[in-house]
Structure 1
């Protein structure tokens, strides 16, 4: 109390004398000027509010234990005084305020000495106590956080009014806080140069250690920086910094805070040698252990509608993230993330010279949680996120997704009433003999203004089941299925299930994009879309956020992830059964990679024109993952698509021909094993009788009828009709020999008429020679591959045109 009263007297006298135009110290002065000064001092605000310091937020993994990133405006890490080295505390007090523990906010002795010295022209001496400095810097910090530049400037202005206000606030701080609290606040607040705010960030920046481990020499070096952070920055000006360090050491020796022996030893170490382990600050995500996920997180926090709880605008959100000391718990499974990256880079090494890229996202069905998101590229070389959409740091488009598009045709066909064991009359085609779907047969269903030519990768065609067409990925079968079902219905299904370009726009609505994947999307979009089927028809937008808490541990309420039932559950069950085929069928495009009897899984391969890109998107009931492996740059300057054929894929070797099942599917199987190892086995729900049987109705009997009569009967029953090829039959030439489907069909669907040639092949007895094979009949699979389509696709910005070439 005596110190406080003395301080008030001195301040009152000072104010009076200043107003009288004098510049000499006075203690206990009187007169009208002094009285006026005391009144003016009393009129100044006296209550000082200490706002929380701007500090780093923490982005952590799903366990909450592993740090992913520390976003900040100021590189500051708040620590209690107990975690700051005793040497550091002594060094800062020695050089800034030796009587810190003796005064009440105003060091009368130091103030008087400074005023006398200044009045006598002996040079300018500072008289601010450590408490006064704390007040000044806090006022400036608070003003900057409010974006109040004028207030920030006023907080450090060299005026008597500002100084008096600072003194009065200092008295209030001393009255309401302990010395240790003030010292801790100061050491966490002050700027130590080189973008390091507070002693913990400074210790890590310059020495690569925590502030609790600072030795005598390191503490003296840091303490000396505060007066002029640029001049005494040891990185920029080691000579000046060393001289300042030695001055601090001498001061500590004089005050008895360090022995002469220890001080001399500390002086012998050159500053340059002290900085060998420094950890200079980098951009938030450049120093992250998961830089691509970090960058995605930062964009998501600023731009996702779900994150409006952090602020109305991206700028406001970023400020709260960088300054608020938030703990942002993500959905990222670090072990799965590491495994995903490892499996990708086994196939596509980072920094390869073959223009190869690889990316994978793992999603939890029913929640949209992003469990892993990895890519085989170097963040320091390019920050483009190959998994995410453009607004979250990804590309404008994504990559063409090939035959993975066929899944949406299956959903639409089952929704239209096609039974699970339904059949398709697939036009015959081969690489050298494509089938042309004409404008007339697509009119009203696919809005195509020209014929559409589709190839299969080997001679295939004829009547086949949905299961066979799916397992073997027969292009002409799906071309016919989409036309029969209606392109618009399939397109609507794709949009409902979250398919979109990287820029958020809908994919192109051409028959090629809808049927054979000439459209473009990102791996995250693909994984989330297929997760709809795993979740029995419920689509959830991808989210990387588990929780957000404030610096004092209070939870911020986050709106739930946007989820919506977009496909009937029983329809999804039916598609799940069909999509097990590529993995389980003996001729499936991803056969042998997964034991569906041990742990059910489903998925689809995809390869684009010229073998330019390859995919596998697959799922179990608990996890969905997309794997893309392809050409990062898709075409030459002349527009010619590049190919994956002939390239080498790490431990998978060099491949003459690359399909979705060649590398992408094997990588997917290994990632999915990591994703499901610790999960219980869950089986897909059995399709309902309604889905198994569809809404097929009996066809009128037309075998033996003329084409005209058969057409009339079928149309009257509500079917569409097309005329197929001529076949050997005992039926009279020119008459209907058979139909596809045979006895029942989907109401409103298409029935193909096969016309008799009027020739019945003789029945050969055992032991006789075999007849010449029917050249029009479907030929067996010679290579275990499906087909290829040549149609009209998108192009531009790294995404080549064309349709699908699948495995």
Structure 2
């Protein structure tokens, strides 16, 4: 019996031991299977910031999920390293990855408090948790953390571990790593940090939200003092150094000013994000070198917003609405009066707000220099420079004039400035018999005006007057609608469409004579780019925004390759540009004369004054401005035209843009001759003509009579 009991006891013991070993093995396998191979830490690449630079290599924006910048240990201040050791892990250089004493202390605190509150983690444990493991406080995670920490200690030196930790740890305010934190809190590079600043940064590590100096300055100050005391205890600093550091001021959060160029930033994001994918674009640390000139961009935004605000005030005044500028009013009041004034201030009425857009590009290369898509990116991210399509009005006329030049017309060619009436017969637009006098023409058209079987169109000049005949030049300078319509009827709508296409217009264009008056819709960047073709000796150059993209190691992933083609002859292009210079010197774009440099331009106003435009060019840069309402509100009362309303603020912007550029004129190509002409008749000028004008012609096309 005793033998049987002994055998049973031995069997039970063996079974229990075997079961225990099996359970331990299974548990160990479960724990270890959840731990990634430590060699992955060598290949670990945390989320990096994608940086955007302007044409002068100024950093203008950062795309990131986490604000992080990697830096080697020898570039991290010793004060920061010592502060981390004194506060986070005093035995860092002695332990093998974990502290048994710290774990026991944390366990006791957790039992006393009844919840997992005390960490007790070494720097190595914090690193393993931050890189590989979740942050939830579970026992299994803690065990895995210890296992992984031991492996990390075996695979890496203490210096390597400290370097990885200081580049990985979260400091609050979206900043990961010490370099990003120094920039975020102090707007400094690491090498510029003081002892007090280093101590403050380390102080926020355990609880960034609680010890944030912007949100809780007193708590942050107490925490900084604790860090300095700890550093003093360990002999890293002297009492005098600690005292001086405690008296340093804490950083104050500055109100983030609106970054210039946000419409442009979104424009390039839409180009690159689909190409490289979300992860690479947002986390891959790309360096994007762009064409934008951020300094001029900022000036342009300021000027446009100020001018459009002034127009808003004028319009609101006409409607009996007083617009109060809160920022200006509050500056004049003491705090007590400001508070009471805010309570007494009547609620303002709703008033329409004008929108605007501005776009500038290099004539010869197509590089985008300025892009303003609206007055406030945060309020409306719709880019009115590239996404909006509006009627260009008379700013479309240069394409009609180019079609005429290619047909043999000259700036002195006389064109009818007479009323016409068109009707649509179901297939084509046709004009009534032009041989009749104006009264007979109106009389003949009357029955068709009210017929449901016919579409009838009778264009008019602004103001309703007509001069009878006009030279091609004078009609462009004064933007005569009837000349434009007579001209497109003579040279052909299809030829005009063809000229616009070659220049760079991609939008749909109607096969109708009204095209001459800009009834189609185009985008601002499209119109500016097409006009640039004329200023570039007839060479079309595709616009672009990105010079090159590099990966985090400086390897070039893509680089801009020019896309250009010959669209028009240099001679026709110069003659058109020469006529467009007259728009500024003597015509509707006179506001731009204030720049006092050669400018070729064209104004544009769409039907019912819904859209106002001005496009202007030098030999090097082309720029366009648009103004209107998003809901397409008509401005019959305001009567704001491209020349009267937009050209002035276009000029104000371009005075800043061009102030450092020489007053270069457009190149005169071979095959051009000049002759003095009478601007009214288009014939050679007589010696006594007071207003004679030196006109450009293709050789052999000069007028031969007086």
Instruction: State the TM-score, normalized to the length of structure 1.
Output: 0.63
- Counterpart check, 1:278 vs 2:253: yes
Shift of 1:427: 1.9
Contact in 1 for aligned 2:425/2:454 (Cα 8 Å): no
Deviations 1:38-72 (A, max 9, x none): xx99x9945342434322232222111x3311221
Q: 2:424 aligns with which of 418, 439, 446?
A: 439
* 1:144-195 deviations in Å (ceiling 9; x for gaps): xxxxxxx999999616456424421331122xxxx44432331121112342
- 2:457 match: 452
Matched, 1:291 2:262: yes
Q: Which of 53, 56, 76 is the matching residue for 1:60?
A: 53
Give the SS at the match of 1:626: strand
Higher helix share: 2
The aligned residue for residue 403 of structure 2 is: 412
**Residue of structure 2 equivalent to 1:768:** none
Q: Distance in 1 between matches of 2:70 and 2:671?
A: 59
SS of corresponding position for 1:68: strand
Matched residue, 1:99 = 91
Query: Could you say which residue in structure 2 is the equivalent of 1:484?
Result: 490
The answer to whether the 8 A contact 1:348-1:376 is kept is: no
**Equivalent-residue separation in structure 2 for 1:680 and 1:662 (angstroms):** 25
Unaligned runs of 5+ in 2: 1-16, 316-352, 432-452, 676-680, 684-706
Change (3 A) 1:261 1:603: closer
C-alpha contact (below 8 Å) 1:400/1:518 kept by paired residues = yes
Distance in 1 (alpha carbons) for counterparts of 2:81 and 2:201: 11
| 1:257–1:472 Cα change, 3 Å | same
Give 2:551's aligned residue. Answer: 550
Mapped contact 1:196–1:205 kept (Cα < 8 A): yes
Instruction: Tell me by how many angstroms 1:452 deviates.
Output: 1.0
CA RMSD of aligned residues (A): 4.5
Counterpart in the other structure of 1:74? 66
- Inter-partner Cα distance in structure 1 for 2:662 and 2:264: 24
CA distance in structure 2 between the aligned counterparts of 1:461 and 1:439, rounded to whole angstroms = 27
Where do 1:319-338 residues align within 5 Å? Answer: 319-338=279-298
Match of 1:184 in 2: 163
Taking a change above 3 Å as real, the CA distance of residues 77 and 455 of structure 1, as seen in their structure-2 partners, is same
Return the match for 1:89 from 56, 81, 106. Answer: 81
Q: Is the 8 A contact 2:538 2:573 kept in 1?
A: yes
- Partner SS for 2:202: helix
CA distance in 1, matches of 2:253, 2:632: 42
SS at match of 1:542: coil
Contact kept? 1:330, 1:546, Cα under 8 Å: yes
Deviations 1:400-436 (A, max 9, x none): 22101111111222334445543323324xxxxxx42
CA distance in 2, matches of 1:54, 1:612: 47
Contact 1:634 1:642 in 2 (8 A): no
Aligned-partner Cα distance in 1 for 2:36–2:305: 66
1:314-713 alignment, distance < 5 Å: 316=277, 318-341=278-301, 343-345=303-305, 347-349=307-309, 352-353=312-313, 354=315, 355-374=353-372, 377-387=375-385, 389-390=386-387, 395=388, 397=389, 399-419=390-410, 421-428=412-419, 435-439=420-424, 443=428, 450-456=455-461, 457-500=463-506, 506-507=508-509, 510-512=512-514, 514-584=515-585, 586=586, 588-591=587-590, 593-594=592-593, 600-635=598-633, 641-643=634-636, 645=638, 658-676=640-658, 677-679=660-662, 681-686=664-669, 688=671
Q: Does 1:227 align with 2:220?
A: no
- Alpha-carbon distance change, 362 to 156 in structure 1, aligned in 2, over 3 angstroms: farther
Q: Is the contact made by 1:221 and 1:244 (CA closer than 8 Å) also made in structure 2?
A: yes
Aligned residue for 1:521, secondary structure, equals coil
The answer for the alignment partner of 1:167 in structure 2 is 150
The separation in 1 between residues aligned to 2:591 and 2:143, in whole angstroms, is 83
Q: Return closer, same or farther for 1:470/1:126 CA change in 2, 3 Å cut-off.
A: closer
Q: Per-residue deviation at 1:89?
A: 2.0
Q: Does the 8 A contact of 2:83 with 2:227 survive in 1?
A: yes
1:114 matched to 2:103 = yes
Q: How many residues align?
A: 591
Kindly state the Cα deviation for residue 204 of structure 1 after the two structures are TM-superposed: 4.1
**1:620 to partner: Cα distance:** 2.3
Q: Is the 8 A contact 1:409 1:481 kept in 2?
A: yes
Q: Please say if residues 260 and 294 of structure 2, whose CA atoms lie closer than 8 Å, have aligned partners that are also in contact.
A: no
- Partner SS for 1:137: helix
Q: 1:611 to 1:679 in 2, by over 3 A?
A: same
Q: Which residue matches 2:326?
A: none
Note if contact 2:72-2:163 (Cα within 8 Å) is conserved in structure 1.
yes
> Would the alpha carbon gap of residues 46 and 625 (structure 1) be closer, same or farther in structure 2, given more than 3 Å must change?
closer
- Residue 333 (structure 1) shift: 2.4
- Spell out, residue by residue over 1:532-553, the C-alpha distance to the aligned partner (whole angstroms, 9 max, x if none): 1112233333222223333333
Listed one character per residue, the Cα deviations across residues 641-683 of structure 1 (whole Å, up to 9, x for unaligned) are: 22473xxxxxxxxxxx543222433444454454444247242
- Equivalent residue of 2:601, what SS? strand
More deviation, 114-123/333-342: 114-123
* Separation (CA, whole Å) in 1 of partners of 2:47 and 2:500: 45
SS of match in other structure, 1:451: strand
Task: Report the secondary structure of 1:661's partner residue.
Answer: helix
TM-score, with normalisation over the residues of structure 2? 0.71
- Aligned with 1:405: secondary structure? helix
**Candidates 255, 268, 272, aligned match of 1:301:** 272
- Secondary structure class of the residue paired with 1:548: strand
Q: Distance in 2 between matches of 1:19 and 1:208?
A: 58
**8 A contact 2:374–2:383 mirrored in 1:** no
3-state SS of paired residue (1:362): strand
Q: Displacement, 1:626? A: 0.9
Contact 2:106 2:119 in 1 (8 A): no
In 2: Cα distance, 1:630 partner to 1:411 partner: 28
Q: Which runs of 5+ in 1 are unaligned?
A: 1-15, 24-32, 141-150, 429-434, 636-640, 646-656, 693-739, 743-807
